[in-house]
Amino acid sequence: MHETLVVVAVLVLTAGLVLGLAAVTTGWMIPGPGRDKVARPRVWGYGALIGQAGIGTFLFVGPLSGLSMEHVPYAMAGMGVFAVGLYVQRLATRTSF
């Protein structure tokens, strides 16, 4: 089961990285109802990349690394980085700073 969870996590993180890189480099985002709310796609892409780094750190240093509690501070730092990425994505919906 652990291997399945790792594969799913890698696939989801890779998809997020591809979408973030597409937004940063070209300004393209997946069409949909949420796309209309984003005023700055490139900023949204940077937020997505930051968020993927944070959630990847959390997953692979925390729950998917085993039952050891020695890496908990690093996993929680990953959650903090993920929250910063969400904040940057939220800033991308504003029309002015």
In the chain, what are the domain boundaries?
2-91
Helix or strand holding residue 44 (H, E): helix 41-61
pLDDT of 58 over the 70 cut: yes
Question: CA-CA distances (angstroms) from residue 29 to 13, 80, 88?
Answer: 16, 25, 16
**What is the pLDDT averaged over residues 60-84?**
89
Of 51, 58, 52, which Cα lies nearest the Cα of 78? 58
Query: Mean pLDDT lowest for which of 11-15, 29-33, 48-52, 53-57?
Result: 29-33
Q: Is the pTM of this model over 0.85?
A: yes
**Each residue of 22-43: pLDDT tens digit?**
999 999 999 998 898 999 999 9
Q: What is the dihedral of CA 67, 68, 71, 77, to 10 degrees?
A: 30
More confident residue, 49 or 97: 49
pLDDT of 54 over the 90 cut: yes
